[in-house]
Amino acid sequence: MSIKKTLPKKSLVITDPWVNLRQLTDARIALGRAGGSLPTMPQLEFQLAHARARDAVHLVFDADGVQHQLQERGHTVQRIHSEAESRRVYLRRPDLGRRLDDSSRSALAKFAAGGDSGFDAAFVVADGLSSLAIHRHAIAVLQLVWQVLMQEGWRLAPVIVAEQSRVALGDEIGALLGAEQLAMFIGERPGLSAADSLGIYLTYAPRPGRTDAERNCISNIRPEGLCYEEAAQSLVRLMVRARRLRLTGVGLKDERGEILHEERY
Partner 1 sequence: MSSFQQTLGHRRYIFDSLKSLLAKASPARSGDELAGIAAASMEERVAAQLCLAEVPLKAFLEDALVPYEEDDVTRLILDSHDPAAFAAVSSFTVGDFRNWLLAYDTDAAALSALAPGVTPEMAAAVSKLMRNQDLILVGKKCRVVTAFRDTIGLPGRLSVRLQPNDPTDDPRSIAASILDGLLYGAGDAVIGVNPASDSLQKACALLSLIDELRRRFDIPTQSCVLAHVTTTLAAIEAGAPVDLIFQSIAGTEAANRSFGISLKLLEEAREAALSLNRGTVGDNVMYFETGQGSALSANAHFGVDQLTCEARSYGVARYFQPLLVNTVVGFIGPEYLYDGKQIIRAGLEDHFCGKLLGVPMGCDVCYTNHAEADQDDMDTLMTMLGVAGCNYFMGVPGADDVMLHYQSTSFHDALYLRQVLGLRPAPEFEAWLESMGVMRDEQLQPVSERHRLLEGLLLGGTM
Contact residues for partner 1 (CB under 8 A)? 14, 16-18, 21-22, 24-31, 33, 35-38, 42, 46-47, 49-50, 53-54, 56-57, 91-95, 129, 188-195, 197, 211-213, 219-220, 225-226, 249-250, 253-259, 261-264
Residue 214 neighbours by CB distance under 10 Å? 21
What's the min distance (Å) between Cβ of 117 and partner 1?
A: 27
186's CB contacts (< 8 A; 6+ apart) are: 124, 126, 127, 128, 133, 134, 165, 166, 167, 198, 199, 200, 201, 265
3-state secondary structure of 124: strand
CA–CA separation, 178 vs 220, rounded Å? 29
Q: Which CB atom, from 2 or from 86, has the smaller least distance to partner 1?
A: 86
Burial class (CB in 10 A: 0-12, 13-18, 19+), 22: middle
What is the closest distance, in whole angstroms, from the C-beta atom of residue 126 to partner 1 in the complex? 15
CB of 10 to partner 1, least distance (A): 14
Please identify, using beta-carbon distances, which residue of 33 and 207 lies nearer to partner 1. Answer: 33
* Nearest distance in Å: CB 21, partner 1: 4
Q: How far apart are CA 133 and CA 139, in angstroms?
A: 10
Q: How far is the CB of 47 from partner 1 (least distance, A)?
A: 8
Nearer to partner 1, 164 or 219 (CB): 219
Cβ proximity to partner 1, 138 vs 218, nearer residue: 218
- Distance between CA atoms of 212 and 200, rounded to whole angstroms? 13
